[in-house]
Structure 1
Amino acid sequence: MSETGWAIIVHGGAKDIPPGLEDAHRRGCLLALAAGQAILEAGGAAIAAVEMAVRALEEDPTFNAGHGAVLNAAGEVECDAAIMDGATLAVGGVAAVKTLRHPISVAAALLSRTPVLLVGAGAEAFAGAHGGELCDPADLIVARPGDPGCDTVGCVALDRHGNIAAGTSTGGLTGCHSGRVGDSPLPGCGLYADNVVGGVSLSGDGESLIRTTLAARLMHSLEAMPPGAAIQAALTYLARVGGEAGLIVIDTEGRVDWGHNSAQFAVAHARAGQPARAFVNRAQDAQEDYP
């Protein structure tokens, strides 16, 4: 990577996108990308870019995260989120939270503190004590004509200083058991970042991603192969337990790639010197310089 190189990729979840909503998913991903890209273009940190991009996805009711999260079996919103700094390997996560407008920012507040993961009322109390944006749970519920899908949003970014960060946020599964925690807030399952290797953010069937520690497996593959091959190796391994997934990757050289075995996977990406682009299927993305 050159001194001025940066890269960013965001995703809106590996899932079937309802008819007529593909443009909303592309547009939402592009808006989130722009929020993070502005920070990177100004010389800002990857960790800040990831937080801002994921906040934008949490604010967009198109996606199953934050405002617009799906409801569990009790008819409640319960959200999970995590963020990881590849420079220090610091990670922060929250799970099963009901009153946080932006779970990703509360996760980010944990990066410099001892707890790695806080859940439920404890996470909400921490948010209240550290400037987190609390809200009425009803404010997160959005009426929709159909199911938005049950998946995670996320972002990976590389800044001009060579630092990599990754983040995830989700509203979980429609109708899931109260207190269920998926892969999203778990490092090595739903995300990971390490300046020595790269950064990844995943979406899909959470229990399958946990059983395979798929983010960790993807990172190990990145040590030996380019992103495209590492993604395919991870998806092949996932077949052992079944399930769908979408994966986004940036490696230390600034190579950006993504893949999925789900029907669709909304993604937007940009790099220094290249325009932002958005897609809902990997086959649509014909960028020639992927490894």
Structure 2
Amino acid sequence: MTNIALAIHGGCGVMAKLDLSEAEWAGARADLASALKAGWAILSSGGSSLDAVEAAVVVMEDSPHFNAGYGAALNEHGIHELDASIMDGSSLAAGAVCASRAIRNPIKAARAVMEKGDAVLLNGPAADRFAEVAGLATEPQTYFTTERRLIALAAMKAHVARGTSASAKEAEKHGTVGAVALDATGHLAAATSTGGYNNKPDGRIGDSPIIGAGTYARDGVCAVSGTGKGEVFIRHVVGHEIASRMAYLGEDLKTASDKVIHEDLKRHNAGAGLVAVGADGSIVAPYNTDGMFRGWVTSNGDVFVGTHDKVFQLPGLAR
């Protein structure tokens, strides 16, 4: 049987350690663990990597601790515009939605777009209408709003007024959730969901719904989900770049991922991170910011979660 593996992220540029109480940090780690358990339950019972990454991302979309779904960032007009994508490494099928203002779980809508097959990416009101017709839950804007995001929006607007946007902490700007998985049949999948960044321009689309940039999966190579400054991820086509370095240069997953995160993106002063899983079950989670919400389950069921430099090992999961 092929090794199975699962990794998730909840965004790079996490808040400074003193910005939240230990109870809040513990809550974020608990939700990371819940996302891992949801995905692992599928993989360990012989389910597909596609189902596993969707399940893991849904948990994080429903958590207020991450910038996706409930608790997503607000744009310059105080509106939530949500993006998500998913990719099946076995067929290169993919689906995505962007600038949704109503879909409770955008990753479910991305999966529905993929399965319908008429398009890869649906935008704005059309994406919301598609989700409703597909029977997916929609919510009023107020559902997605949390006090933390209102504070973050005010902080970014204050930076703009002072001309200090460049010095804003990564936690005041970006955030994303994502998952990658390898299932027992050797198939890879990736999924990513985000609210974008605080005070983003109305209608701005980042890398998360762009296949090959923020999300990419190819059987026999790797699956990647990214987080950080989306514009730079798009320009470097990050997910595809890592897969290409592996396929064409023969680099291993760690070498290819480190090159992109610590060299290619760092030279743009771009906060960035990702999780990736290789066809052999190897897992990496590089980032070039102060921290990144992240977690993974190894092929033998060992569970790890981290926020900054410290990684916590949690009770293992059965396979």
TM-score band w.r.t. shorter chain = over 0.9
Flag as ranges the 4+ runs of structure 1 deviating above 3 A. Answer: 145-149, 281-286
Whether 2:229 is the aligned partner of 1:184: answer no
Whole-Å Cα distance in 2 between the matches of residues 201 and 272 of structure 1?
A: 19
| Match in the other structure for 1:289 | none
List per-residue Cα deviations over 1:25-84 (Å, max 9, x = no partner): 322211111110100011100000010100000000010100010111111111100000
State the structure with more CA Rg: 2
Whether the 8 Å CA contact 2:53–2:191 is kept in 1: the answer is: yes
Whether the 8 Å CA contact 1:221–1:233 is kept in 2: the answer is: no
| Match in the other structure for 2:274 | 247
Matches within 5 A, 1:1-291: 3-17=1-15, 18-20=19-21, 21-112=24-115, 113-144=117-148, 146-147=151-152, 149=172, 150-223=174-247, 224-235=250-261, 236-281=263-308, 284=311
Whole-Å Cα distance in 1 between the matches of residues 308 and 216 of structure 2?
A: 23
Identity of aligned residues (%): 35
- Give the unaligned 5+ runs of structure 2: 153-170, 314-319
Shift in alpha-carbon separation, 1:183–1:31, aligned structure 2, 3 A: same
Secondary structure of 1:274's aligned partner: coil
Q: What displacement does 1:273 show?
A: 1.3
Q: TM-score, structure 2 length as denominator?
A: 0.85
Secondary structure of 2:47's aligned partner: coil
Whether the 8 Å CA contact 1:214–1:238 is kept in 2: the answer is: no
Whether the 8 Å CA contact 2:94–2:120 is kept in 1: the answer is: yes
Q: TM-score, structure 1 length as denominator?
A: 0.93
Whole-Å Cα distance in 2 between the matches of residues 213 and 44 of structure 1?
A: 29
The one-letter amino acid of 2:27's match is A
Whether the 8 Å CA contact 2:304–2:311 is kept in 1: the answer is: no
- Comparing 134-143 and 165-174, the one that deviates more: 134-143
Secondary structure of 1:64's aligned partner: coil
Shift in alpha-carbon separation, 1:256–1:282, aligned structure 2, 3 A: farther
Q: What displacement does 1:176 show?
A: 1.0
Shift in alpha-carbon separation, 1:116–1:282, aligned structure 2, 3 A: farther
Q: What displacement does 1:228 show?
A: 1.5
Whether the 8 Å CA contact 1:87–1:164 is kept in 2: the answer is: yes
Whole-Å Cα distance in 2 between the matches of residues 171 and 270 of structure 1?
A: 26
Larger helix percent = 2
Secondary structure of 2:72's aligned partner: coil
Secondary structure of 1:260's aligned partner: coil
